[in-house]
C-alpha cells in the first residue's frame, strides 16, 4: 500500500499542494498534520509508523515535511525499514528505498551521521578529561563544605544522632552518611 504523509508547520498553512501530489503518486491513505517538525510528538507520524506493514511504501512530497535533520530522517527511515516497508520522496528522487541507488544513498547518509555522532562523543570525552585535569568538578556542587563536615563529625562524636545533625544542617540523613564514608 502507498501511504502518504503530509505536514505543515502552522495551522494557517495549507496542506493542499502536498495532498494533490500524494494522491497523484497513488497514495491510498494519507496521514495529515499541522504541527511544527521540531516537535518530537507528532501523533499522525507515530500512528503511521505504527500501522506500517511489510511492502508498504511511505511517500512524502518533500523530505523537510518528514524530518528536520539528517539524523531525524535516518531515524524515521530506520523505523520504516524495521517494518519491512519502503520510503520515497517525490521531490528528492534520490531518497527512494525502493531502488538500489536510493538504498545506497541513505546507507551512506547513515554512515556519515554515525561518524559525526562518534566524533561528537570523542570530542566531548576529550574535553571532559582535559577539564578534569585542570581541576574542574562535574556534577552538583557539594551540599556541605569542609568546615561543615568537621562540625558534623564533631557533633556525631558528642553523641548527636545522624537525624539530628541532618536537621541542623538542613540536609538529608543520606547526605550526612555520604560524607562520613569519605
Grid cell at residue 115: 561518524
Is 154 among the catalytic positions? Answer: no
| Cβ-proximal residues to 66 (8 Å cutoff; 6+ apart), any chain | 5, 7, 45, 60, 72, 73, 76, 89
Dihedral class, residue 63 (left if φ above 0, else alpha if ψ from -120 to 50, else beta): alpha
User: What gap in Å lies between CA 18 and CA 146, rounded to an integer?
Assistant: 65
DSSP H stretches of helix in 2-99: 16-24, 43-51, 70-82
Query: Residues 9, 91, 146, 154: which is the catalytic one?
Result: 9
DSSP string for residues in 70-94: HHHHHHHHHHHHHTT-EEEESS-TT
Query: Which residues are annotated as catalytic?
Result: 9
Amino acid at each position: 500500500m502507498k501511504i502518504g504523509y503530509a505536514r505543515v508547520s502552522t495551522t494557517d498553512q495549507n496542506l493542499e499542494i502536498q495532498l494533490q501530489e500524494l494522491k497523484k503518486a497513488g497514495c491510498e491513505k494519507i496521514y495529515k498534520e499541522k504541527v511544527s517538525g521540531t516537535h518530537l510528538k507528532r501523533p499522525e507520524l507515530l500512528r503511521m509508523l505504527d500501522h506500517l506493514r511489510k511492502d508498504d511504501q511511505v511517500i512524502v512530497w518533500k523530505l523537510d515535511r518528514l524530518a528536520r535533520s539528517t539524523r531525524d530522517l535516518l531515524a524515521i527511515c530506520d523505523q520504516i525499514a524495521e517494518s519491512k516497508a519502503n520510503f520515497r520522496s517525490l521531490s528528492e528522487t534520490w531518497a527512494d528505498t525502493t531502488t538500489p541507488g536510493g538504498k545506497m544513498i541513505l546507507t551512506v547518509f547513515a554512515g556519515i551521521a554515525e561518524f559525526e555522532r562518534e566524533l561528537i562523543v570523542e570530542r566531548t570525552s576529550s574535553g571532559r578529561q582535559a577539564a578534569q585535569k585542570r581541576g574542574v568538578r562535574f556534577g552538583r556542587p557539594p551540599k556541605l563544605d569542609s568546615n561543615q563536615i568537621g562540625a558534623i563529625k564533631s557533633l556525631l562524636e558528642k553523641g548527636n544522632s545522624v537525624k539530628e545533625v541532618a536537621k541542623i544542617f538542613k540536609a538529608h540523613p543520606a547526605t550526612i552518611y555520604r560524607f562520613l564514608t569519605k
